[in-house]
Structure 1
């Protein structure tokens, strides 16, 4: 399997044995790159482990073959050299492995013998079935010609049916295309009707606005006239304000003069009042003396 980056955030790999394509999406391109590197790393590690396993299996096979050739002499030597306990003590790890391998091979041989018996039984069954099939073939050979005729008739009928099916499929495809076109046209008509309704609404609004325009123009002219009159009146009021301001300034000046004269008059009046008071006191004294 080979991991392939199909885009900046998506990658996929194919399993040819399962005839399946797998894909993954990632949040960023960095995550996609990291996943691709880890994918390749694990793939290389698996390949290395598989190669080592094959080498180990070949080595064990070679050792088993060599030990199979050397086992008799080694057993003979061990039996000559000592007792059973001594032989067990002198057994090497390779001998244990070879012994295990020999036991496994014995079990496989026994299993193969069992399978051979089963295969013999199955072979006999197949022979019986073959004999029955030969008889059936001999019986059916007489009907081959009629079967051929029936087969040719069926083929012709099948060809006619296939042609009819092809024609019907073409008609169905045309009907589907027409149906699809009709659905598209229906959607387009609905869109156009919606646009037409909007245009009619806009036209109605424009008509209403057009009816209001003369009234608005009359009001605008009236407002313009009023504005001009207001401007004229404003100018007149400004002139009056200037005159009133002048009168106010004159009035203030006259009021200042009047205040000065009034103060002088009050001073004189106060003097006269004091004189009158003294005169009254003199009259009072004079009355008391009399």
Structure 2
């Protein structure tokens, strides 16, 4: 084997040194990246541990909330029942109020009906009185008509008698006039 010259060795060493430097830079970069990854992993691990510590507390909180939710649900159910009962009571009160108003209206109508009935009775009594007066007037009228007719008949008879007497007087006058003329 031939020993190369010092400049060749030096170039080889420089090339190898450059390779080492390149490899060293790559290793340094990988080491830095690994360190960063390790830090990130430690941070994630710490976050996981923190989360692992927090989760049992959260589970306990959620169990409390669940029991509170059940209590709230029970309370809500009770409130809904109370609301339904109150609404039913309110409807009954409104119905009672409406019925009271109807009763008051019915009483007012009954009072008006009684008043109208009394007025009707008074009018009927007045009508009977008027019918009685009308009957009396009709009787009086009929009597007056009968009397007038009798008077008329009597007057007619009297006129007929007067006509007869006038005729007799005329005849008597004529006879007297004839007698006076003939004497």
Relative to the length of structure 2, the TM-score reads: 0.53
Deviation digits for residues 219-249 of structure 1, max 9, x if unmatched? 1011000111111222222222222222222
Counterpart CA distance in 2 for 1:189 and 1:207 is 26
Bigger fraction of residues in helix = 2
Q: Is residue 206 from structure 1 mapped to residue 48 from structure 2 by the alignment?
A: yes
Match of 1:180 in 2: 22
Give the superposed CA RMSD.
2.4
Choose from 201, 219, 226 the match for 2:61: 219
Relative contact order: is structure 1 or structure 2 higher (C-alpha 8 Å, sep ≥ 6)? 1
Match of 1:248 in 2: 90
Counterpart CA distance in 2 for 1:244 and 1:265 is 31
Q: Give the Å deviation of 1:200.
A: 1.1
Runs of 4+ in 1 over 4 A off after TM superposition: 264-269
Match of 2:71 in 1: 229
How many positions carry a matched residue from both structures? 111
Bigger fraction of residues in strand = 1
Match of 1:197 in 2: 39
Match of 1:18 in 2: none
Deviation digits for residues 53-87 of structure 1, max 9, x if unmatched? xxxxxxxxxxxxxxxxxxxxxxxxxxxxxxxxxxx
Which residues of 2 match residues 250-269 of structure 1 at below 5 A?
250-265=92-107, 268=111
Of structures 1 and 2, the larger Rg is shown by 2
Choose from 77, 80, 83 the match for 1:238: 80
Counterpart CA distance in 2 for 1:231 and 1:264 is 48
Counterpart CA distance in 1 for 2:66 and 2:89 is 34
Q: Give the Å deviation of 1:266.
A: 5.5
Unpaired stretches in structure 1, ≥5 consecutive residues: 1-159, 273-290
